[in-house]
Amino acid sequence: MVTKARLWSGSPARRLTSDASDADLDGAGARPDVLVVGLGYVGLTLAVGLACAGVHVLGYEIDGSRIDRLSEGVVTFCEPGLAEALGALPSQQLRFNAELPDHLPPATILCVGTPIDPVSLEPRLEALEAAATAIGQRACEGDLIVVRSTVPVGTTRRVVLPKLSHLCHPKLAFSPERTIQGRALQELRELPQVIGGIDGASCDATCALFAALCDKQVRVSSLEAAELVKLVNNAHTDTLYAFGNEVALIAEQLGLDAREVRRAANVDYPRPDIAGPGFVGGGCLTKDPYLLMASMPRAGYMPQMVPAARRLNESLPRHVVERFCAAVQEADGDRGPTRPTVVVCGLAYKGNPPTDDLRGSAAPLVLECLRGQGFDVVAHDHLVTASAAAALGVPLMSLDDAFVGARGAIFLTDHPGYRELDIGRVVSTMERPAVILDCWGVVDDRLGDQVPGVRCLRLGRG
């Protein structure tokens, strides 16, 4: 454990050498201590967190339009407290630039995206390699390079380290990002920072860097161990959720209620809790299991539980639509063919903590399957914008307008606003017979079977 200390122990942080290309970064004279490369969700929250802890940060992003918005204090994604924290910072504490400085600050943290290919499911590491190349060309003896991007095991050594081969004693470490969306700034301060380096000096420097942000650092023996920590954290979570979804599917087939079974199984039972059913999305849980699987061919082993869990969780949106369609068909009886309207409530990948993030959301597949079954679909979301919904091919409406004349509704997220909704009022405007499928238990307890002509289903209840 390392307690809070100044950014670098001993002498003050090394200053950048004066250079004409860096003049626009000098401002009132304060030079950055840290360069954060990549200002997406991971990079921006880290940059703001470090700046709030008193570190002078330079944020670099290749997207000039994003730099312009950030320089004006505009955050383009939803994260509670982030915009406020950014706006409250002194002008020189956190600066943004669309060009890399010729001379690096003492520490550089790589936070670029590492997506998986949607077809091959293989990792796409081009952005990381490009960033490592650009930083490697500028790195000097004594500079610390920290990889924060989530990667297959072995990537930091194979991809980043060769870019530092001109240095006699490169300082290189991996320290994974492990925050949850909706509580990122809080968890940056509270969660231990896992750190693995190529040597002790790299670990020491990285611990000193993150000590400004967090009281506790956990050292591991290597770059690879630190890389694996992030992947097993998220693959484990994915697997736990998959078992909860398996229990839900079992309960449906047996005519039982998974929520009742789960509640009884967990009461005062001294073993890990059984998770509830629900969609598993986001930028990490839908990607990191594939990064873990991509790590293994070199080692000659293929995980078994990890891909099975991912397949089950990815199957849930289709299952929900199939169950919904079967209920609508049963309710219709001999009614002739129509194009009934369905309201999809919740487009983001999760509702609590609230987010507007569509990465890994169940909504795109649910929308596609519903349209394929002949439904007209409208949507509601508390945070997702109308333009983002339009990109999914669905109009965004208010709940009052969306439910008028609709034949069905599917609640895809557990946003707190749905729990507070006067569900009886909006359901009263639906066309009968109507079907509601509640995936998270946000309305079914209040609605039940009390409204004539409206059948309410819940994921995990037969």
Q: Is the pLDDT of residue 172 over 90?
A: yes
Average pLDDT of 317-345? 89
Q: Is the pLDDT of residue 21 over 60?
A: no
> Which of 9-18, 114-123, 213-222, 265-274 is the least confident region?
9-18
* Boundary of a domain, candidates 256, 278, 307: 307
Please check whether residues 216 and 272 belong to one and the same domain: no
* Boundary of a domain, candidates 188, 221, 254: 221
Q: Is residue 445 part of a domain?
A: yes
Average pLDDT of 284-288? 97
* pLDDT, position 451: 84
State the pLDDT confidence band at 336, using cuts at 50, 70 and 90. low
Asked whether the bond before 433 is cis by omega within 30 degrees of 0, the reply is yes
Q: How far, in Å, are 243, 245, 249, 321, 362 from residue 312 at the CA level? A: 9, 8, 10, 15, 13
Please check whether residues 39 and 153 belong to one and the same domain: yes
Q: Is residue 249 part of a domain?
A: yes
* pLDDT, position 116: 97
pTM (2 d.p.): 0.91
Return the closest-CA partner of residue 209 out of 447, 430, 6.
6
| Dihedral sign computed on CA atoms, order 26, 28, 34, 37 | negative
Q: Is residue 42 part of a domain?
A: yes
**Which token pair is 151?**
């990667």
- Helices 223-254 and 258-266, packing angle to 10 deg: 120
Please check whether residues 364 and 390 belong to one and the same domain: yes
Please check whether residues 346 and 433 belong to one and the same domain: yes
Q: Is residue 353 part of a domain?
A: yes
* Boundary of a domain, candidates 246, 273, 307: 307
Please check whether residues 392 and 277 belong to one and the same domain: no
Q: Is residue 2 part of a domain?
A: no
Start-to-end CA distance of the chain, whole Å, equals 49
Digit-coded pLDDT (tens) for 360-402: 999 999 999 999 999 999 999 999 999 999 999 999 999 999 9
**Which token pair is 439?**
């995936």
* pLDDT, position 68: 96
Average pLDDT of 227-244? 98
What is the domain count for the chain? 3
Residues in the chain: 462
* pLDDT, position 337: 58
Digit-coded pLDDT (tens) for 83-122: 999 999 998 999 999 999 999 999 999 999 999 999 999 9
* pLDDT, position 445: 87
> How, if at all, do strands 341-345 and 408-411 pair?
parallel
Please check whether residues 205 and 258 belong to one and the same domain: no
* pLDDT, position 182: 94
- Residue matched to tokens 């997506």: 115
CATH number of domain containing 358? 3.40.50.720
Return the closest-CA partner of residue 40 out of 101, 114, 129, 132.
114
379 close to 404: Cβ distance less than 8 angstroms: no
Phi and psi of 48, rounded to 5°? -65, -40
- Tell me the average pLDDT of the chain: 92
Please check whether residues 83 and 181 belong to one and the same domain: yes
Q: Is the pLDDT of residue 29 over 70?
A: no
DSSP 373-440: TT-EEEEE-SSS-HHHHHHTT--B--HHHHHTT-SEEEE----HHHHTS-HHHHHTTSPSSEEEEESS
CATH number of domain containing 240? 1.10.1040.10
CA distance 426 to 422: 7
Domain that includes residue 214, residue range: 20-221
Please check whether residues 402 and 442 belong to one and the same domain: yes
State the pLDDT confidence band at 19, using cuts at 50, 70 and 90. very low
State the pLDDT confidence band at 334, using cuts at 50, 70 and 90. low
**Which token pair is 57?**
């940060």
In the chain, what percentage of residues exceed pLDDT 70? 93
Q: Is residue 154 part of a domain?
A: yes
Q: Is the pLDDT of residue 8 over 90?
A: no
